[in-house]
Amino acid sequence: MNKPALRRHDRSEMLHARACLHMPGGVNSPVRAFGAVGGTPPFIVSGRGNAIIDADGNTYCDYVGSWGPLILGHAHPRVVEAVVKAAGSGLSFGACHAAEIELAEAIRARMPHLELLRLVNSGTEAAMSAIRLARAATGRDKIVKFAGCYHGHADSFLVQAGSGALTFGTPSSPGVPLAVAADTLLARYNDLDSVSACFAGNTDSIACVIVEPVAGNMGVMPPRPGFLAGLRQLCDRHGALLVFDEVITGFRVHPGGAAALYGIAPDLTVLGKIIGGGLPVGAFGGRAELMRELAPLGPVYQAGTLSGNPLACAAGIATLRVLEEENPYERIDRLAVRLESGLRNAIRAAGQAGTVNRVGSMLTLFFGPEEVRSLIDAVRADTARFARWHGAMLKAGHYLPPAQFEAMFVSAAHTESDIDATIEAAGHVLNALSGDAT
Ligand SMILES: *Cc1c(COP(=O)(O)O)cnc(C)c1O
């Protein structure tokens, strides 16, 4: 064993400083910079099961799980073995190979509404390609998205709500052309009237409605009963396609994803995260007649040098196979329920205001509001308090997402005693927060 570093974060701090010389903010994805919570992000040297270890030798119980892919935990032996074996036979062919078929079959076995699918390299790419297809198939340009839902960083999705912005989107990032943003209409999650208003104001010009069937990127927010069914009806009535972004929820909230959990079949589905088992993979798929519009069968262009990469396919296949064999869903959901109620009790016992939202094994603790059913509720959350909570939990060895509007993930590698240790730490941290708040 290495000697503990002089200070607990010396090495991470040095690495962060070095990273900042070469990469904007020292990161390759913004949330990793800990901007929302402050402090230096720990540099991770290894992960195994539920635990990650940083460069200073600190061990954390991980509830981020690489933002969702690691439903089996870190370095699951079967997944690692599959990747190593595949690597020995070549890293990429840019040509057809059988593992692509196996991954497609594994996905379709659980999600039969993906009559045909295509593999890509990220969720962003999958969502971007799905709306190109939706636009081509309907001959319409506009899309409806929900404020607070995230579908990757393609231009069409980087559009934010403003009051009365139900008909015209405005970009939420410089660099997104106004003309592109104007084709993205914004609606309010869990508010069918706001979707009806989009259709009413844009007759025959909306290609699709894209939604996270369980919102995960404004903190976890379950769909209200009837919301997804209502979207299905509205799309059918107006000749638009319904696109489920199941990048988080696919193989997470149910073996068949949110579509199976809620019994609603979308026209197109966007996948990522779990289907790559920790390697870069995305996929989109849906009704065969739509998917046949894609090149080489149809005119809609979409391609990828590394798409269907053999290592990524191997990791995805192994992950889906272990999920199939071990069917850990009931157990991890039970652990998540335990964590949810433990955190709720801890909040109450500490005299704090807040709530916990949970669907399956994804959950978010919101500070402030007693109920979070919409983006409006979510943005009332006390992010300063969240930042202090995050820092204290990290110090106590519990690695939570470094931003209020994200999901914690429970994996098959967590145990009851992990959950109980996290609840106990949360109790101490929340009590301490109450102390210095008054
Ligand atoms: C993570 C995520 C994406 C983007 O996937 P990347 O692989 O990060 O490009 C898209 N949609 C949802 C719902 C996500 O959570």
Q: What is the mean pLDDT of residues 259-270?
A: 98
Q: What angle do CA 117, 282, 147 make, to 5 degrees?
A: 105
Amino acid at position 257, single letter: G
Cβ proximity of 286 and 111 under 8 Å = no
Q: What is the mean pLDDT of residues 418-424?
A: 98
Q: What is the mean pLDDT of residues 88-112?
A: 98
Q: What is the mean pLDDT of residues 37-60?
A: 97
How far is CA 343 from each of CA 88, 185, 283, 334, rounded to the nearest angstrom? Answer: 45, 36, 35, 14
Nearest CA to ligand 1 atom 11: 151
Question: Is the CB of 262 within 6 Å of ligand 1?
Answer: no
Measured between alpha carbons, how far is 318 from 275 in angstroms, rounded to an integer?
9
Question: Is the CB of 281 within 6 Å of ligand 1?
Answer: no
pLDDT band at 286 (very low <50, low <70, confident <90, very high): very high
Q: What is the mean pLDDT of residues 206-217?
A: 97
The set of catalytic residues is 150, 245, 273
Is the confidence at residue 90, as pLDDT, over 50?
yes
pLDDT at 160: 64
Q: For a pocket test of ligand 1, which of 217, 268, 275, 364 has the largest count of ligand atoms closer than 8 A to its C-beta?
A: 217
pLDDT at 5: 40
Q: For a pocket test of ligand 1, which of 121, 128, 158, 247 has the largest count of ligand atoms closer than 8 A to its C-beta?
A: 247
Cα dihedral: 258, 327, 67, 308 (round 10): -80
CATH, domain range 77-326: 3.40.640.10
Measured in angstroms, how far is the CA atom of residue 151 from the centroid of ligand 1? 6
pTM summary value: 0.95
Measured between alpha carbons, how far is 259 from 38 in angstroms, rounded to an integer?
37
- The predicted-structure confidence for 354-405, as pLDDT tens digits, reads as follows 999 999 999 999 999 999 999 999 989 999 999 999 999 999 999 999 999 9
Measured in angstroms, how far is the CA atom of residue 355 from the centroid of ligand 1? 25
Is the confidence at residue 170, as pLDDT, over 80?
no
Measured between alpha carbons, how far is 94 from 100 in angstroms, rounded to an integer?
12
Question: Is the CB of 151 within 6 Å of ligand 1?
Answer: yes
Cβ proximity of 399 and 52 under 8 Å = yes
Measured in angstroms, how far is the CA atom of residue 352 from the centroid of ligand 1? 32
Measured in angstroms, how far is the CA atom of residue 203 from the centroid of ligand 1? 30
Is the confidence at residue 6, as pLDDT, over 80?
no
Cβ proximity of 143 and 206 under 8 Å = yes
- The predicted-structure confidence for 292-306, as pLDDT tens digits, reads as follows 999 999 999 999 999
CATH class of 10-63+328-433: alpha beta
- The predicted-structure confidence for 334-359, as pLDDT tens digits, reads as follows 999 999 999 999 999 999 999 999 99
Q: What is the mean pLDDT of residues 99-125?
A: 98
- The predicted-structure confidence for 27-40, as pLDDT tens digits, reads as follows 999 999 999 999 99
Residue ranges with strand state E in 126-265: 142-146, 159-160, 170-171, 184-187, 206-211, 241-245
How far is CA 179 from each of CA 20, 47, 84, 182, 208, rounded to the nearest angstrom? Answer: 34, 44, 46, 5, 18
pLDDT at 163: 32
Q: What is the mean pLDDT of residues 185-195?
A: 96
Number of H helices, E strands in the chain: 14, 16
Q: What is the mean pLDDT of residues 58-68?
A: 98
pLDDT at 435: 80
Q: For a pocket test of ligand 1, which of 64, 67, 120, 124 has the largest count of ligand atoms closer than 8 A to its C-beta?
A: 124
Measured between alpha carbons, how far is 15 from 13 in angstroms, rounded to an integer?
5
Measured in angstroms, how far is the CA atom of residue 425 from the centroid of ligand 1? 30
Measured in angstroms, how far is the CA atom of residue 337 from the centroid of ligand 1? 24
Question: Is the CB of 217 within 6 Å of ligand 1?
Answer: yes
pLDDT band at 437 (very low <50, low <70, confident <90, very high): low
Question: Is the CB of 267 within 6 Å of ligand 1?
Answer: no
What is the SS3 assignment for 318? helix
Q: What is the mean pLDDT of residues 139-148?
A: 96
Q: List the chain domain ranges.
A: 10-63+328-433, 77-326
Question: Is the CB of 235 within 6 Å of ligand 1?
Answer: no
pLDDT at 4: 45
Mean pLDDT, all residues of the chain: 94
Closest CA to 374 of 185, 231, 218, 259: 218
